[in-house]
Structure 1
Amino acid sequence: MTARLNLDPCPSPHWQWEGHIQTIAAMKWGRRPQQPFVRQRLDTPDGDFLDIDWAGPQAYTHAAFNGQALVIFHGLEGSSQSHYAQAIGAHFVERGWMVAVAHFRGCSGEPNRLARSYFSGDSQDIDFILNQMRRQLPQAQWHATGISLGGNALLKYTGEQGQQLDWLAAVAGISVPVDLVATGMRLQTSLMGRYVYTPHFLASMRGKMQQKASAFPHDANWNKALQARTLLEFDDAYTGPVHGYRSAFDYWSRCSSQYHLHAIRVPTLLLIARNDPFIPQAGLPAPNQGSKHLLLHYPCSGGHAGFASGSGRGELTWLPQRLERFFTQHQ
């Protein structure tokens, strides 16, 4: 059996008439509550650390908690302060859920300890985090969602694990670049990708690379990484080689979650707006590329991790509500 398809719309504010505006407006001006978090640090087996930000009705150490729980994996250079994490976190905390925002290495505001950082196919760290969540709150009913880069890593891992992940009630991927090559080239060649989105990401990553170059001078081609003007150049110089790939294209090809959708055995929502400026519409997965456990939802608007609705600046309520409806169906 193939995946199911849903084209129900996201009612964007009237003035947000296209994907770039919907992407940027949600990040800059979308109304969302400010959700406070409590931080937990996890030491990893390789001598590094991962920071988890928690919120909910009880302490994250309360092993007897037997309610609903959600772990959120953020996007490229995101954190628990990202607009989508704040909106989703506040929505579910208000409904009595435990929420954990898992920071990838180096994304919590403090440099990680190793030359490596994070990448879009890091199944090992996804596995470590999810199993830590399960051990910590063993009686909770766990759900997981990933946004953009975090969504790709989560869906790749979900397909790799297959039936072994049946302890998760449901999974959701939001604005997921399931074909990293297609998304990488879109950001490489489009005007907005090359002159707006890419400089935004590189400015954040360049500061981290300068710190790593001082601490680990022989572990990467830091000069090439620091001089990169595109994500292709950056991933070719740093992300690919440092994480075990031959090049950016080798990394993108081998880490694309589209090759794992058929193997998913957990109820999974894949939500991508058809006007997402990062993801070519022609490359959206077709129903015959996914398993029967996968629901493909492709609204006509929403941008990349935007999905503002209502009037004025836009409310960031549609996405959390969409997640809640899906998760409620699979409790």
Structure 2
Amino acid sequence: MHTFSAMYCSEAIAETPAVAYKLFFKAAIAIPIWHYLLGMLLLCMGFLYNLLELHFFHDLFTGFRGSPVLLTYNSSSDLYRGVVSKCRTLHGRYLATPWLSSPHIQTSFLNFFGKPPRVSYKRQLFHASDGGTFALDWLRHFDVSGVTTHRYRDICKDDTTPIVVMIPGLTSDSASPYMKHLAFNTAKHGWNVVVSNHRGLGGVSVTTDCFYNAGWTGDVREVIKYLHHEYPEAPLFVVGTSIGANILVKYLGEDGENVPVAGAAAVSSPWDLLIGSRFISRRLLQKLYDRALTIGLQGYAQLHKSRYSRLANWEGIEKSRTIRDFDTHATCLVGNYESADTYYRHSSSCSFVQRVSVPLLCISALDDPVCTREAIPFDECRANKNTVLAITQHGGHLAFFEGIAGSSLWWVRAVNEFFEALHSSPFMHKQKAQNIDPHSAVMQSSVDQGPYINVTDDGMVAATDNGRSDVDVEELFKEKKDHDQNNRTVSAGEEHVFTSGVNLSPAVRNPGKSWEFQGHEYCRKVLISGFTTKQDVNMVACLYSHHIDLASGWCSTWFHLQKEVQKSLARKDTKMTDHHFVSQILYRITHLQRRKILYVKYWDI
């Protein structure tokens, strides 16, 4: 009977396809509905498993042993033999928290939950040499020890306790969960921690037209040199995260041996911003990260709308949908870059790795959803004896959760172990002797703020450039002492106190006349009566020099000024030669721009 039915069905299917479809639908209807729901659920789970890059089953089938850490280093590296070889964490395996076995879940969990420990920072408002203000949030080792007797104690100038400087990522500050994890655990190890917040973040308003970006190394350079000057006996270690890691590596590469940093660590660095920009707009989930980061940047711009609306394309900022859009309409205009690609190439740290002279540990995850593995400079790290690159198979972006509870970050443990091993070894970097005070040095930056003038308390106006000059050390230390009086420590709950600008001279403050007219009027008076004081020489030179680019030469303006000076010198019958006159002007112009005084654009006065 069954054989007959089968033969009948096969004949029917062969004769008419309609009969076959009819039989198929009958069979489909006979299947229970919950079987279909189960099948759809399995398909969706498979799709999400691949979309979210889950690796739970891989971890399960390997017995939850985790994946080994891949170390890349120079074969003749003393850093590896003397320091990294003693780090058990870097020679072990990393196993992600089982219920967070996805780079996207880890990264999202870190930012929205994170389980950060409770920390209470002590805030110091730092006034940069260009007038900028940002926050240094301190967490001292006795703040987390539970001993209340040391709560109001300050760090002694001759304290030998190591200080760890932390540089947050894009639009992050000391309140970010991963920064709290790092700060708390580092302080638990008995070290002092200071988080160097970016300009305009951490609740501190910007006080100049200068904003931070991915290649802005000026602030970290000033902070590190300031800390080295204030606590010369304390070894300085630096940790950069995400964009902060890019800034750190770029700074170390720019300054080479000339840094007072004993050791450093760069975690989840983007390395090559141009490659990263293309990667983050490639896939669906990466586009979500791109959009989320753009919203954060727009929020940052909204906090400082009064300045961004004047310096950048505010309409373009509001319409930005990607980081590249924001950089095109904001970062490039404020930083004077031709295009976003130019900014990315100029700010990428991958080209600076080989010039790093400080023991540097770099940590990245191959499944980082924000910073692609394609940008990791394996060859550059292998060529530098001072660099060790640690790569994990999983970890996400700045997450690396470990343990069943997911309450700790693997990279925090790895960095602290590396610093401890380095601190107890003879391989800590020591800065070469310098004859320039740390805080008075001119900070080179990729952000070009155009022509400026400096207005001192006595009304002197000086044009500035970005060059360096050799200035008397004692005078610089005196300026440093005056400058540091403005950097005072306040509690995290106190109201922020900002740098107040110096008083403009009556001539400059006169709104009825333009700055250029007032300047030339002063010059005519001086040239008629002659140069009676050095201040007259400085004033005339600086008022004329605002027309030209000091970095490219004096051009015709200098020739005109020299002719007027020669006439004045002849009338006064002075013995001051042209050569001496030129040297005095150059000395004062390069010297005045090193001082912490008000910077304003001459067309804004």
TM bin, normalised by shorter chain, reads over 0.9
Q: Which moved more, 1:25-34 or 1:221-230?
A: 25-34
For 1:203, give the aligned amino acid: I
Instruction: Establish whether residue 297 from structure 1 lines up as the match of residue 390 from structure 2.
Output: yes
If asked which structure has higher relative contact order (CA below 8 Å, sep 6+), I would say 1
Q: 2:108 aligns with which of 24, 28, 31?
A: 24
1:9 to partner: Cα distance: 3.7
> 1:184 matched to which residue of 2?
277
- Residue 109 of structure 1: which of 196, 203, 222 is its match? 203
Question: Secondary structure of 2:270's match?
Answer: coil
Is the 1:172–1:268 Cα contact (8 Å) retained in structure 2? yes
1:131 equivalenced with 2:131 (yes/no) = no
Cα shift readout 1:14-57 (whole Å, capped 9, x = no counterpart): 12222111211223233331111000001112222011000113
1:196-211 aligned at under 5 Å gives the runs: 197-211=289-303
* Matched AA of 2:342: D
Aligned partner letter, 2:156: H
State the one-letter code of the partner of 2:95: P
TM-score, length basis structure 1 = 0.93
Per-residue CA shift, 1:139-181, capped at 9, x if unaligned?
111100000000000001111111112x311100000000111
Give the deviation of 1:136 after TM superposition.
2.2
Q: How far apart in 2 are the matches of 1:283 and 1:209? A: 28
Q: Deviations over 1:259-281 (max 9, x none)?
A: 01111111000100111011222
- The structure carrying a bigger helix percent of its residues is 2
Give the partner amino acid of 1:68: P
Q: Equivalent residue of 1:269, what SS?
A: strand
- Please list, as runs of the form range in 1=range in 2, the aligned pairs for 1:73-84 lying within 5 A after superposition: 73-84=167-178
Q: Which amino acid aligns with 1:296?
A: L
* Matched-pair contact (CA < 8 Å) for 2:117–2:184: yes
1:49 to 2:49 alignment: no
CA distance in 1, matches of 2:368, 2:395: 7
More off after superposition, 22-31 vs 150-159: 22-31
CA distance in structure 1 between the partners assigned to 2:364 and 2:93 by the alignment: 11
**Which structure 2 residues correspond to residues 1-331 of structure 1 after superposition, within 5 A?**
2=74, 9-56=93-140, 57=142, 59=153, 61-165=155-259, 167-195=260-288, 197-215=289-307, 217-289=309-381, 290-312=383-405, 314-331=406-423
What's the CA shift string for 1:228-264, capped at 9, x where partnerless? 1000010011112212321211111111100011111
Residue type of the partner of 2:376? L
SS in 2 for 1:128: helix
Displacement of 1:60 in angstroms is 5.2
> How many residues are paired up?
328
3-state DSSP of counterpart to 1:272: strand
**How far apart, in 1, do the equivalents of 2:169 and 2:230 lie?**
24
Q: 1:208: how far off?
A: 3.2
Query: What CA deviation, in whole Å up to 9, does each residue of 1:96-146 have, x standing for no partner?
Result: 211000001011123212333211111211211111121222211110000
Q: Offset at 1:11?
A: 1.5
SS of residue in 2 equivalent to 1:329: helix
Q: Counterpart of 2:128 in structure 1: which amino acid? A: T
Query: Please, which runs of 5 or more residues in structure 2 have no aligned partner?
Result: 1-72, 81-89, 143-149, 424-605
2:49 alignment counterpart: none
Aligned equivalents of 1:32 and 1:221: distance in 2? Answer: 37
| Aligned-pair CA distance for 1:211 | 4.4
The answer to whether the Cα contact below 8 Å between 1:188 and 1:232 also exists between their aligned partners in 2 is no
Distance 2:277 2:124 in 1: 33
Query: RMSD of aligned C-alpha atoms?
Result: 2.0
Cα shift at 1:318: 1.9
Cα distance in 2 for partners of 1:250, 1:288 equals 22
Distance in 2 (CA, whole Å) between partners of 1:201 and 1:322 is 27
Q: Is the 8 A contact 1:7 1:299 kept in 2?
A: no
Higher Cα Rg, which structure: 2
Return the letter of the residue paired with 1:179. D
5+ residue gaps, structure 1? none
Flag the 1:29–1:114 CA change in 2: closer, same or farther, 3 A.
same
TM-score normalised according to structure 2 size: 0.52
Deviations 1:53-74 (A, max 9, x none): 0011375552121111100000
Moved more, 218-227 or 8-17: 8-17
